[in-house]
Structure 1
Amino acid sequence: MSSEHDPRNRLNDLDAREWTYALRSVISTAYPTRGPESFAHHLRRQHPSPKPPQLMAELIRFFTRQHGHVLDPFAGVGGTLIASSLEGRTAVGIDLSAEYATIYQAVCAELQIAPQTYVVGDARNLLELPEVRERPFDLILTDPPYAAMMARPKTGERRKRGRPNPTPFTTSAADLGNLPYHEFIGELCTILTAALQVLRPGGYLVIFAKDLQPTPEHHNMLHADLVIALRQVPGLEYRGYRIWHDQSQRLYPFGYPYAFVANQMHQFILIFRWRGDGKG
């Protein structure tokens, strides 16, 4: 395969070999949590579910070119923003939590990188923000809450091992992470549909999702329900998913010795392309 960038490639700066490697359906990682290669994990871990900047950087390299623009409506402690800085992109992040914004600033200071634009506010109002309206974005990359997963009390083995109980992202009533499952999906899709208005035609929407344990009432395959909901948006095409296998996750004997309960060691990375023509 050629190691040169094909001039027909307007999506990214990858050559054919790099492009092919980026198409693998499973990303299996064991990122360091100590030392310089952890990207200040000791600070970022104050968020219940911080995304590794290295992982976000891999996605940014594929879905944008150098000097591209990235939007994250659920910025948390800034995994997307840090990755954008590392990859020479500009980014805007939005989050309800002033605490997470402060942590992000501390991370940037420790890593000696210039902070990206971080807006403390409700993503429901993103189209009212001048920082969002001033330019079209090439990529929307975000890790939203997974309904009220983190706000639920921990049970069984996790409680025995001293895990916080529970670990909500914030206590705000406006936080999507405190909403019931189906209400969460509706609110998230409304936010993402609005965000598409500032995504350039041909740009990508990339969303992390983790399934909840099934119940008698519903399968709780969040990734599937999100795809079903977002496929209703005119002009938005579902392009598939990648799976992130996080090797750092600890195994627990869920259900022992009575019933099968899976240890979910992975998350789905859902990929959509915005046509922007409203034709679906």
Structure 2
Amino acid sequence: MSNDMAAAAAVADAIEVAPEVAERPSVDPRNSLNELTGGEWLYFTKSVLTTTYPAELGHHLRKAHGACKPPRLMKELIEFFTKADGVVLDPFAGVGGTLLGATIADPPRAAVGIEINPRWASIYEQVCDEEEIPRQQMLIGDCRTVMAGMEPESVDFVGTDPPYNVHLERTMCNGVYDATHGNRRTDYDMRSDDDGDLANGEGFEDYLEGMTEVFAGCHRVLRPRGYMAVIVRNAYQKGRYCYTNIHLAERAESVGFVLKGEKIWYQAGTRLRPYGYPFAYVPNIAHQYIVILQKPK
């Protein structure tokens, strides 16, 4: 028997003994939210999410932004909260994690990003070109102004990772351990020079007032019964722990959203640093909250 005939016979034998691949369960015809099966839906609803996403999709470029969102995280959110023809909005698009998540979703979704800093938008475009994937729409400007010019009820889902607070200078243990434990891979000062950048505010109350305006804009452009997912980390600044997630949820509800729940997102491998050592307890905040809100019908 020739090598070609032997190979063909081997393939035929393998096909004959291979287990049948189970068909993907069908989507319930009553499911008006997404394209997921019952099992996929159930798995997503767990309130704790632990991830170890790979460094991919231009991460070597995107990591210049200290809070770049993993595209695969955004993909999971987008696939749960939209149908195949849904439109996604990220008012704090950064280097495009949400836009990339929409592009790699199954099937891909259309997305619009708004970013106040042209530097981050440019990195997103570089990533798309390098990865040879189509660019989603990225608009430059203050999201409060840009959303005011968008059509009402024109998007199906808002997924975003806003600034967590105003920017404050921070050191570890008064600078004692900066040399040995402060070598972060990215610069977490991500502010632009624009006065509209919420991280440039005078204090936490200014930040919350700005976020209230943002949420009002999101509420206007989101369709009825659409969802908004806000990724946020609580803050420890000036000796006080701040429940940023609760404050933002309250501000979102004040403009018409309804709080539906939260997912605790733990990104495994978060590096621990000796904050407060050896004088006081200061937490290593290794998790973030994904606050889920809905615009009522």
TM-score, shorter chain, exceeding 0.5: yes
Partner of 2:164: 146
Say whether 1:21 aligns with 2:38.
no
Aligned to 1:48: 66
- Kindly report which structure 2 residues correspond to 1:1-280, keeping only aligned pairs within 5 A, or say none: 3-33=25-55, 38-87=56-105, 88-129=108-149, 132-133=150-151, 136-149=154-167, 151-156=168-173, 159-160=178-179, 161-163=182-184, 167-179=189-201, 180-213=203-236, 219-234=241-256, 236-276=257-297
Task: Return the alpha-carbon distance in structure 2 between the equivalents of residues 84 and 108 of structure 1.
Answer: 13
SS of the residue corresponding to residue 219 of structure 2 reads helix
Structure 2 CA distance, aligned partners of 1:155 and 1:256? 9
Q: 1:79 Cα shift?
A: 0.3
For residues 99 and 187 of structure 2, what CA distance do their matches in structure 1 show?
A: 29
**Helix, strand or coil for the counterpart of 1:133?**
coil
SS in 2 for 1:231: helix
CA-based RMSD: 2.0
What does the per-residue CA deviation read over 1:69-118, in whole Å, with 9 as the maximum and x for residues that have no partner?
00110000000000111111001100111111110001111221110000
In the superposition, the TM-score normalised over structure 2's length comes to: 0.84
Paired residue secondary structure (1:213) = strand
SS for the counterpart of 1:91 is: strand
Instruction: Give aligned-pair identity as a percent.
Output: 35
Aligned partners of 1:145 and 1:41: how far apart in 2? 20
Unpaired segments of 5 or more residues in structure 1? none
Scaled by the length of structure 1, the TM-score of the pair is: 0.89
- Partners in 2 of 1:44 and 1:266 — Cα distance? 20
Q: Which piece of structure 1 moves more, 153-162 or 55-64? A: 153-162
Moved over 6 A (4+): none
Question: How far apart are 1:43 and its partner, in Å?
Answer: 0.5
Distance verdict in 2 for CA 1:165–1:105, change over 3 Å = closer
Rounded to whole Å, the distance in 2 between the matches of 1:159 and 1:268 is 27
